[in-house]
Structure 1
Amino acid sequence: MGFDAIEIITAKRDRGELSTAQIDWVIDAYTRGEVADEQMSALLMAILLNGMDRREIADWTQAMIRSGERMDWSSLDRPTADKHSTGGVGDKITLPLAPLVAACGAYVPQLSGRGLGHTGGTLDKLESIPGWRASLSNDEMLGVLRAAGAVVCAAGSGLAPADRKLYALRDVTGTVESIPLIASSIMSKKIAEGTGSLVLDVKVGSGAFMKNVADARELARTMVALGSDAGVRTVALLTAMDRPLGLAVGNALEVQEAVEVLAGGGPQDIVELTVRLAREMLEAAEVAGARDPEEALKDGSAMDAWRRMITAQGGDPDAALPKAAESVEVAAPASGVLTSLDALKVGIAAWRLGAGRARKEDPVSAGAGITLHAKPGDVVREGRPLMTLHADEAGRFERALAALDGAYEIGEPSGDGLLPLVVDRITA
């Protein structure tokens, strides 16, 4: 049945509920070019302002899935599990997590993205490893999974093409913030990816897309419902992004920190969240006799899986990582306790140093970023390094330092103000 784009726009404008048939038609027609960008922009704004109910969001998500291919891992002899993070500053969790879960008994097929703005992208981080390839065919993905147990790569053009087109439109029409559109965008790709189970890491705080717990919880519940309705075992953790994760922000810097975790070290918050998410993934995948992730970090099996995964995608796990040509230290202006460190400001500074991009086509500097020498709660001393900035061009430091104005506070310990690392757990 054919519909008219204007009647669908006005129905949602007037707070109406779109039927399954209307949603199927408008997604298909827009993907084919029958519905114009300006018409879809109007519909997206109506959705932003008036929302969607659970059935509408599920229909919208399924229509985007049907616009392309759906991957199939049924030939594998172990369950599949995936993780998706909504993005943050210093969030390199995927790097140690994927091989760790593979070492514990599940296959991990993970399609990841690149950074934009102050949030880093997993593919950008991994591309700092010499030779590593992000673009794989479906057959190559399957080969890497069988060889290494985990694969992290870019989504192919055949996966939810409607979402790719809609995402670009949302980005230029002020409609990114809609929770139904965020949830359906993420979940259409994850469901089409074909994983049997999914753990969502929904960040909350200044460095996250969701700034407060209430909005993060609503997004998490919406995505968990979408996954469950589609037959994917789905759970979400709300995790803190009011301060950066770990001590490294930037592509090669974060790879080095991930390797430290796989070697049995690394910052406590990275280790804690990696292990917690690994346990959630193994439980959701219902892996019989799964190994404990902490043991897999200690005995070297997670590191072995990492080396296999990197090698299988053309990378050299022993190669030296790129380093920036220039560095500048930021000293603590006073002695005391570092009581806060704003994730957003740190992320913007790293972006200005060259670690991120303003547009999708912009290059990134593999070695640029920030090394933190203290986390909130640590004692710092006046004149001692608080952080080190890294860039390929000395001219980048001025704007990065400007972004850090007011980014941290030093004083007496208060015992409150920071979110717990794991704020909440959401299930169907």
Structure 2
Amino acid sequence: MAEPFDAVEVIRTKRDGRRLSAEQIDWVIDGYVRGVVADEQMSALLMAIVLRGMDRDEVARWTHAMVASGDRLDFRSLGRPTADKHSTGGVGDKITLPLAPLAAACGVAVPQLSGRGLGYTGGTLDKLESIPGWRARLSYDEMLAQLRDVGAVICAPTDTLAPADRKIYALRDVTGTVESIPLVASSIMSKKIAEGTPALVLDVKVGSGAFMRQLDDARALATTMVELGTDAGVRTVALITDMSTPLGLTAGNALEVAEAVEVLQGGGPPDVVELTVALAREMLELAGAAGAPDPADVLARGHAMDVWRRMIRAQGGDPEAPLPRARETHDVLAPADGVLVRLDAFAVGVAAWRLGAGRARKEDPVAPAAGVQMHAKPGALVRAGQPLLTLHADDPARFPRAMEALEGAFEVAPVGSRPARPLIIERIG
């Protein structure tokens, strides 16, 4: 049977700055999955989208077509409110780890489908895989059973969830077409809509360690994703949060798990606690969890820790097992007395990556114990010679290049100086 459209004509439509019709979008996504549209043709279309953009209707249809390329999960049989959270990624962003069990401890089921790290941003699955025995891949039936029993699951997406997005993302990664708000928003939201949760909270990072460096760009991405969720019938809210400084005091897989456990035990760094509680409150409100306890109280009392242990055990992990520790460490010292006013997230992320905590290609392994431990955050008083950072690696030959990444990454100013902006910058939705 003849195809209703020609790929070259679809490419020309967008190349010349015209709108793609709903029918063209449906066909080109389906045709790419079927192999009728070739890689080089989809690459050309993606570049045309990067250069020409898409309007709201086009982005919504593109997202819908990617959702329709695979299965859509359904958690309505759980009989309790369901909500999810997605972060656009950053350095030291371990928030999912305490957040999922916290929301579950407050009565909301959390089906958290997460990914792996690439480059300097850490992946939630990589962090959890530093726990002995823990497994990322679950079937839909296993997810459902764990949500009924435990209330929270963090796992890899199934292969049948938005397969068009997986195929298109792999192409964008090698064709210089990642940096496009319509394509980023539709990629994230197609997976979240297909996941089937009725309520979604987005954590859109902005700053040197984020995908979006400028506030206007982060605001545009957040707005687009909220619109896509709303148009698809998903109650969606976005918080724009600061990623000019790493979150918490660790960047690296096992280091971040240990810090997340501190938070679940009622302690941990104030910024991690603040953002975890803020996102939990948004999830409870969106899910309509009337009468739920305040997440701040639940976290402070350590109640979410019980859910964490059960969640880890349900996926084969041992929550009591020692986490991997690096064989070598190296301290980075404060250059002077004063106030630490800047600690650049991007530089810390690159250093952690060079120490072995991240990967350059999707198939690369990660060193679970590698990373950066921070001893001070902007606003703290420091003394000359005091350790500001400790680098962790199994191979000391990695330290010099990590140190290169940290050149100019921090600034100590006279007492009285203050760091710039708050952690939670704006709410959209």
Number of the residue aligned with 1:150? 152
Number of the residue aligned with 1:50? 52
Is 2:322 aligned against 1:320?
A: yes
Asked whether the equivalents of residues 242 and 418 of structure 1 are also in contact (C-alpha less than 8 Å), the reply is: no
Number of the residue aligned with 1:113? 115
How far residue 299 of structure 1 moved from its aligned partner, in angstroms, is 2.5
Among 375, 378, 383, the alignment partner of 1:376 is 378
Alignment of 1:8-407 (within 5 A): 8-407=10-409
- Secondary structure of the corresponding residue to residue 115 of structure 1: coil
Task: Please give the TM-score of this superposition, normalised by the length of structure 1.
Answer: 0.99
Asked whether the equivalents of residues 327 and 393 of structure 2 are also in contact (C-alpha less than 8 Å), the reply is: yes
How many pairs does the alignment contain? 427
Q: Provide the rounded CA distance (Å) in 1 between the counterparts of 2:240 and 2:334.
A: 31
Equivalent AA in structure 2 for residue 315 of structure 1: G
Equivalent AA in structure 2 for residue 263 of structure 1: Q
How far residue 144 of structure 1 moved from its aligned partner, in angstroms, is 1.2
How far residue 339 of structure 1 moved from its aligned partner, in angstroms, is 0.8
How far residue 90 of structure 1 moved from its aligned partner, in angstroms, is 0.3
Change (3 A) 1:221 1:140: same
How far residue 412 of structure 1 moved from its aligned partner, in angstroms, is 2.1
Change (3 A) 1:213 1:417: farther
Q: Provide the rounded CA distance (Å) in 2 between the counterparts of 1:335 and 1:300.
A: 37
Q: Provide the rounded CA distance (Å) in 2 between the counterparts of 1:162 and 1:247.
A: 37
State the 4+ residue runs in structure 1 displaced beyond 4 angstroms. Answer: 413-417
Q: Provide the rounded CA distance (Å) in 1 between the counterparts of 2:418 and 2:388.
A: 21
What 5-or-longer segments of structure 1 have no aligned partner?
A: none
Equivalent AA in structure 1 for residue 29 of structure 2: I
Task: Please give the TM-score of this superposition, normalised by the length of structure 2.
Answer: 0.98
What 5-or-longer segments of structure 2 have no aligned partner?
A: none
How far residue 417 of structure 1 moved from its aligned partner, in angstroms, is 5.5
Q: Provide the rounded CA distance (Å) in 2 between the counterparts of 1:267 and 1:274.
A: 11
Asked whether the equivalents of residues 339 and 414 of structure 1 are also in contact (C-alpha less than 8 Å), the reply is: no
How far residue 413 of structure 1 moved from its aligned partner, in angstroms, is 5.0
Asked whether the equivalents of residues 352 and 358 of structure 2 are also in contact (C-alpha less than 8 Å), the reply is: yes
Equivalent AA in structure 2 for residue 154 of structure 1: A
How far residue 79 of structure 1 moved from its aligned partner, in angstroms, is 1.0
Q: Deviations over 1:36-81 (max 9, x none)?
A: 1111111001100110000000000000001000001111010110
- Secondary structure of the corresponding residue to residue 9 of structure 2: helix
Q: Provide the rounded CA distance (Å) in 2 between the counterparts of 1:364 and 1:79.
A: 36
- Secondary structure of the corresponding residue to residue 137 of structure 2: coil
Asked whether the equivalents of residues 267 and 300 of structure 2 are also in contact (C-alpha less than 8 Å), the reply is: no
